[in-house]
Every structure is written in structure tokens, then in C-alpha cells.
């Protein structure tokens, strides 16, 4: 079953200008990771420092493998340097009965 993951990010005000380049670099690897079905980045219309990353994965196992890889030195990114608070990850499945 596919998974939609939402990664809620709050950027430091001084990092807003650098965020597009860092996100582009970071999400290039995300999009190339096995099991990734796509990634969209949403910016809060009222707060440019609030970003939501919408990721679609083939399965929970693929998402778990990606999260485990990101926790390694090889998978680390510079994204954490931009954040004013820890990211919040929420994962969803599609409810076919609705």
C-alpha cells in the first residue's frame, strides 16, 4: 500500500533565501531513492518560512528505508541547518472506502 508522507518544516528567517537551493539538492536524492513516487514542495502563502514537503512512496517499507538512509552520514543533508524547529513527519495511507 502506498504512503504519503508530509514533512512540516519551519525555516529560520535568515535561511529563507537559501532554502530553495538546499531543498533542491536534498530532494534530488529523495526523488532518486528507490520506491519514491514523487515529491512536491508547498510554501505557506502567509509565511514563507513555513514549508511542507509532500512525498509519495510505494510502501511504508520504502519510506522507512529512506528515513533510515537519511540518518546515516551518506544520507545526511544540509536541511537541518535551515530549520528553526525539528521537522514534523506525518505519514498517511489512502482510505479506499471513502
Q: What pLDDT digit, counting tens, does each position of 4-47 carry?
A: 999 999 999 999 999 999 999 999 999 999 999 999 999 999 99
Q: Is 61 helix (H, G, I), strand (E, B) or coil?
A: helix
Contact 41, 53 (CB under 8 A): yes
pLDDT tens sequence across 49-91: 999 999 999 999 999 999 999 999 999 999 999 999 999 999 9
Chain length of the chain:
98
Residues 6+ apart with CB under 8 A from 11: 19, 49, 50, 51, 82, 83, 84
Q: Grid coordinates representing 77? A: 543533508
Q: Given 3-state DSSP classes, what are the helix, strand and coil percentages for the chain, each rounded to the nearest 5?
A: 35, 35, 30
pLDDT tens sequence across 36-49: 999 999 999 999 99
Amino acid at each position: 500500500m502506498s504512503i504519503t508522507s508530509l514533512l512540516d518544516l519551519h525555516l529560520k528567517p535568515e535561511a529563507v533565501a537559501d532554502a530553495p537551493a538546499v531543498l533542491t539538492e536534498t530532494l534530488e536524492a529523495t526523488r532518486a531513492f528507490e520506491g519514491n513516487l514523487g515529491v512536491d514542495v508547498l510554501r505557506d502563502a502567509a509565511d514563507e518560512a513555513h514549508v511542507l514537503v509532500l512525498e509519495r512512496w510505494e510502501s511504508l517499507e520504502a519510506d522507512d528505508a529512506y528515513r533510515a538512509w537519511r540518518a546515516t552520514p551518506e544520507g545526511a543533508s544540509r536541511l537541518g541547518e535551515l530549520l528553526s524547529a525539528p521537522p514534523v513527519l506525518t505519514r498517511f495511507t489512502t482510505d479506499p472506502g471513502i
